[in-house]
Chains A and B, each alone.
Chain A
Amino acid sequence: MTIDSKPLNAFPALPEMDRREVVRFAALTAATGLAGSLAASASAQQTDAPPRPEAPEIDGVEWNKAPCRFCGTGCHVMVGVKGNKVVAIAGDREADVNKGLLCVKGYHVGSILYGADRLTEPMLRKNGKLEKISWEEAVDIAARKVMDAGQGFGLYLSGQSTIPEGYIGQKLMKAGLSNNHIDANARLCMASAVTGFISTYGVDEPASCFDDLENCDVLILWGNNPAEMHPVLWSRVIDRVARGEKVKIIDIGTRRTRTTEHADMHLSMQANGDLAIANAILHILVKEGKVNEEFVSKHCSFRASHNAEGLSHPLVHDEFTARLAERGAGGLKGTAIDRKDFEELIDYYTPERCSEMSEVPVEQLRELAALFADPTLRITSLWCMGVNQHTAGTAMNNMIHNVHLISGHWGRPGDGPQSLTGQPSACGTVREVGTLAHALPGGRLVANDGHRADCEARWNVPAGRIASKPGYHTVKMFEQFSKPTSEGGDISAVWVQVTNPGQSLPNTKKLINGVKAQSDKFLIVSEVYPTATTELADLVLPAAMWVEKDGVVGNSERRTQQWFRMVDPPGQARDDAWQLIAVSRRLFELGHAGLRDKDGNWLFQQLDENGQEIEIWKWDVWKANHFDRNFFEEYRPFTVLKHKNVAPYDLLVEKRGMRWPVVETSPGEYRETRWRFVEEDDPFVGEGARFAFYHSTSGDDRAQIWFRPWEPSQETCEDEFPLMMSTGRVLEHWHTGTMTRRVPELARAMPGTYLEMNRKDAADRGISNGEMVRVVTKRGSMKLPVWLGGRAEPRRGHVFVPFFDEAQPINELTLDAIDPYSKQPDYKKSAVRVERLADPKGGTQ
């Protein structure tokens, strides 16, 4: 739980700590309350749970709610503040997401504020060194760089950006600068889920919710390890097991993990085997007459596309692919096919053939299919990066929806597909506000004339202000930034907020590391700690984080969550939203025409109740107010078009989040939606319809069942590189470790990265546990210690390396191939070899 360490960071001390009894009592109260509320919610299924007790009482500590800073689960924590410092954290029993539970990272979330090396002053690189400058100078420099770069400027945001931050950035770029080169790091983690949802249902984001975890009979984990990545959701499942309930857990993946320990069945698959597994299920259901005819005939259509550019074609489908290509059926929308075509195509994917492709035994494929064939079961599928970070990520997302749709395991509590996100607002900010190169707020697209016109009207800017051509997606943006101008690299300045691409981008040497050597490129980074990205930056802007600022975020189950600033940021650190506002104002002052609306006013003008302009670009004014409400309420009407109606800000202040669509049932009374497209719960489904996919791409309220062929991965194992490497996360650290590595307990518990290897593969090479080895890919090499028989073990032929370690940035070696639709990179399939070193302690070669 904690390890002795020097005070790199800590919760600041409460004075008068002789009150230990009080703290003990508070802890016991919290634990007893949690045990009770877990039991109550288990028996009441959340609907009529008894009132839960308040936060624990500790003298002088003021408690307020906030969603946890880390993953997409959206747990609420109670934050205890005393003397302008966070001094305690408790799980929030008012929150239905976590019911008072916290994971080890949430447990330490308060400590992330207090790392000793917080960035506290703006800095400009001069003669190779970062030197302190004033905010006035920093804002002016940033604005001039943005102005000079013109269409060569890119804004790179995050799934950790709050909704108001994302909205301001989106408006600045698309309505102000007429520049669509805005993207977010969520491109790296869930873009394929987006394209999967859109191509299946016509609209993004999960229709189901976390309540399914309490209602399912079967839980299928597609390349997903929630025991480490979404531990609180996992605890909700394990709590059911502890109560003696039967939940059949199916774990599909290339590694045995902590999740596998609880699984009833583990399908150990070859990397890239997932498409074959899903195709086998479809084949068996069709061949054995187990298609849910009523559901499919009323609510589904069939669809296919010819193979996307850049992917090799499986020979067996060449003829069909050619036919589709003739019909112009490429792209995300594809073309309608009939049931007979679908059945002919799926005929190829016999269990035996799919077993060869996936290396999963036929018996297991049949057993999995038999679960879907049983209409009495309730089946929930969970997935995250394992499916999304895939050159066939869109296809694999479609396949998960397919197996649920064709079997009718859809739309009942506990019965449906639920994708997870890794960041707290990948959904709320990136997917809903649309901080992506092709998107506009509320599910609109820059390429859609009507959508652009609608946004221009709402933003009161002249017609034609928003550019119609999508900007650069993440990989392309950094490719163009990293490439010398003389070689066509047309991005000259990038502003990064709330993320660390210097460590998280794939193939980082190619995509970003080269920027530092180029004098005509300029990198602005808003950050809280020094990172691999600030190492490359020309201008560093110190940022406030989490409860040092107001925020609104949206989690993986469509739940929008709000919190207020509770403590001051350190030194000169300031809110990311304010930084965008200040630079926007400076651009306006410098005469940038785009920063004026049709009436000549500044694009972000805020008026007080007397109609006087509020000087929100001044930090003291910003800090003294809560402008999140203004920007959220300005954004909220955008969400109606795609029926993603988010709740009013003031309601979110009262609640522990609400799941959209949130509709007003009577004046001042609102209700949330747990299951979308389901008549019983979704207010936009017509009476008697039972289910209606009302944004259907086929325009008939039907979801699309896609034919998606198995395709080989971009990189395959060969003699020189015989092992397949995936990268990922660990329980103790969050993403690139920027925050969690500042928490001594977490840093000591998991101090550095490692190479996880199958023990037989290691034995074949004479490699022993703890030995330093060299991992080599086509992109470079890195020395790492080997961990054998640890908390997880890959199947033979596969290795795994966590990417949290700044000292050993494994993404220097990962492949930068992307899914053709989502443009999401594949971090899970880089071919490698592992070499022993002359000195296995790693000192020499």
Chain B
Amino acid sequence: MPVSGLVLLLHPDQPLSPLLDALERHPDLMIAEPVERRVPLVADTRDAQHDKEVWGWLRARPEVLDVAVALIHDDSRNA
């Protein structure tokens, strides 16, 4: 089950609150306090396919300029 520590880099000209609302509502994401226009979060997913879907959802958000990776822990294939 993959656990990823990610940082979203946000467009400077997009409002922050709609994205934060959407992130908070997402059941597989845990977000921390944004630092300027960077949002640290954890994606905790049940399997690799699910993980890919979450990643795709993040990338598709118009406010998101880039997704940076801070940590990966994935033991699902040997569990």
- Chain A residues proximal to chain B, CB less than 8 Å: 1-7, 9-14, 17, 20, 23-24, 26-36, 38-39, 56, 58, 80, 87-91, 100-104, 106-108, 235, 238-239, 241-244, 744-745
List CB contacts (< 8 Å) of B29-55 with chain A: 30, 32-44, 47-49, 51-52, 54-55
Chain B residues in 8 Å Cβ range of A9: 77
**Contact A23 to B73, CB < 8 A, known contacts A13-B79, A241-B65, A243-B36:** yes
Is B72 at the interface (CB under 8 A from chain A)? yes
Which one of A6, A34, A244 contacts B70 once the chains associate, using CB atoms below 8 Å?
A: A34
Query: Which residues of B have CB within 8 Å of A102?
Result: 68-70
Indicate if the CB atoms of B74 and A34 lie closer than 8 Å: no
Task: Find A31's partner among B41, B49, B75 (CB 8 Å cutoff).
Answer: B41
Which bracket fits the contact residues of B?
Answer: 35 or more
Interface residues of B in 1-44 (CB under 8 A from A): 1-7, 9-13, 30, 32-44
Give bound CA distance, A239 to B54, whole Å.
22
Given contacts A2-B76, A101-B68, 7 further A-B contacts (CB under 8 A): A24-B44, A28-B42, A38-B7, A38-B38, A90-B71, A91-B69, A238-B65
- Determine which of B1, B10, B47, B48 lies in contact with A242 in the assembled complex, contact meaning CB atoms within 8 Å: B10
Among candidates A4, A39, A58, A744, residue contacting B73 with C-beta atoms closer than 8 Å: A58
Q: Which residues of B contact A (CB under 8 A)?
A: 1-7, 9-13, 30, 32-44, 47-49, 51-52, 54-55, 65-66, 68-79
Q: How near does chain A come to B7, taking the closest CB pair, in angstroms?
A: 5
CA A67 to CA B73, docked complex, whole Å: 19
Closest to B34 in A: A35
Known: A100-B70, A239-B9. A10 touches B77 (CB 8 A): yes
Q: Check B78–A34 contact: CB distance below 8 A.
A: no
Shortest distance between the CB of A277 and any CB in chain B (Å)? 29
**Contact at A32–B40, with CB atoms within 8 Å?**
yes
Contact B72 A107 (CB under 8 A): yes
Chain A, Cβ-Cβ closest to B77? A10
B66-A242 in contact (CB<8A): yes
> What are the residues of chain A within 8 A of B11 when measuring CB–CB?
242
Q: B10 contacts A30, CB within 8 Å? A: no
Could you tell me the distance in whole angstroms from the C-beta of A90 to the nearest C-beta in chain B? 4
Contact A101 B49 (CB under 8 A): no
Tell me whether B68 and A34 are in contact (CB under 8 A): yes
- Please judge, given known A-B contacts A17-B75, A23-B3, A89-B71, whether A3 and B48 are in contact too, CB under 8 Å: yes
Among A6, A11, A80, A103, residue most surrounded by chain B Cβ atoms (within 10 Å): A11
A307 CB to nearest B CB, Å: 45
Q: Are the C-beta atoms of B48 and A2 separated by less than 8 Å?
A: yes
Closest to A104 in B: B69
Q: Are B36 and A39 in contact (CB under 8 A)?
A: yes
* Residues of A contacting B72 in the complex (Cβ-Cβ under 8 angstroms): 88-90, 107-108
**Cα distance A339–B29 when bound, in Å?**
63
Q: Chain A residue with minimal CB distance to B55?
A: A1
A26 pairs with B73, CB closer than 8 A? yes
Structural contact, B40 and A34, CB atoms closer than 8 A? yes
A5, B49: Cα distance in complex, Å = 9
Minimum Cβ distance to chain A for residue B72 (Å): 5
Chain A residues near B36 (CB-CB < 8 A): 39, 243
Report chain A residues within 8 Å CB of B37. Answer: 242-243
* A34→B6 CA distance, assembly (Å): 9
Interchain CB contact under 8 A, A28 and B5: yes
On whether the beta carbons of A30 and B66 are closer than 8 Å, the reply is no
Q: 29 A-B residue contacts at CB 8 Å?
A: A1-B4, A4-B49, A10-B75, A10-B77, A10-B78, A11-B73, A11-B74, A12-B78, A13-B75, A24-B30, A28-B40, A30-B71, A31-B6, A31-B7, A31-B32, A34-B70, A35-B32, A38-B35, A39-B35, A39-B36, A58-B73, A101-B68, A101-B69, A102-B68, A107-B69, A107-B72, A238-B65, A241-B65, A242-B38
Q: Which residues of B contact A14 (CB under 8 A)?
A: 75
Q: By the criterion CB–CB under 8 Å, are A20 and B1 in contact?
A: yes
CA distance A238 to B37 in the complex (A): 12
Residue of A nearest to B47 (CB): A4
How far is A107 from B10 in the complex, measured between Cα atoms in Å? 21
Contact partners of A58 in chain B: CB under 8 A: 73
Chain B residues with CB below 8 A from A91, complex form: 68-71
Give A28 to B41 CA distance when docked, in angstroms.
6
Q: In the assembled complex, which residues on chain B have CB atoms less than 8 Å from the CB atom of A27?
A: 3-5, 42, 70-71, 73
Q: Which residues of A contact B4 (CB under 8 A)?
A: 1, 27
On whether the beta carbons of A87 and B73 are closer than 8 Å, the reply is yes
Q: Once bound together, how far apart are the Cα atoms of A23 and B41, in whole Å?
A: 13
Of B37, B39, B72, the most chain A CB neighbours within 10 A belong to B72
CB neighbours (8 Å) of A33 from chain B are 70
Determine the chain A residues whose CB is within 8 A of the CB of B6 once the complex forms: 31
Q: Min CB distance, B78 to chain A, in Å? A: 4
Among residues of B, the one whose C-beta sits closest to the C-beta of A14 is B75
Using CB atoms, name the residue of chain A closest to B74. Answer: A11
Smallest Cβ distance from A52 to chain B, in angstroms? 12
A190 to B76, CA, bound (A): 39
Residue A35 contacts which of B40, B69, B71 (CB distance < 8 angstroms)?
Answer: B40
Find chain A residues with CB under 8 A from B1 CB.
Answer: 20
Q: Check A88/B70 contact, CB under 8 A, given A23-B3, A27-B5, A35-B35.
A: no
Contacts of A7 in B (CB 8 A): 77-78
Q: Is the CB of A238 within 8 A of B66?
A: yes
Question: Which residue from chain B places its CB closest to the CB of A10 in the assembled complex?
Answer: B77
Contact of B38 among A2, A12, A35 (CB under 8 A): A35
Contacts of B2 in A (CB 8 A): 1-2
What separation, in Å, do the CA atoms of A30 and B5 have in the docked complex? 6
B6 to chain A, nearest CB (A): 6
Q: Which residue of B lies closest to A1 (CB)?
A: B55
* CB atoms of A35 and B7 under 8 A apart: yes
**Complex alpha-carbon distance, A500 and B47, angstroms:** 33
Residue of B nearest to A28 (CB): B42
- Bound state CA distance, A609 and B67, in angstroms? 52
Task: Give the residues in chain A near B39, CB-CB below 8 Å.
Answer: 35
CA distance A23 to B66 in the complex (A): 24
Q: A3 to B48, alpha carbons, bound, how many Å? A: 4
The residue on A at minimum CB distance from B53 is A1
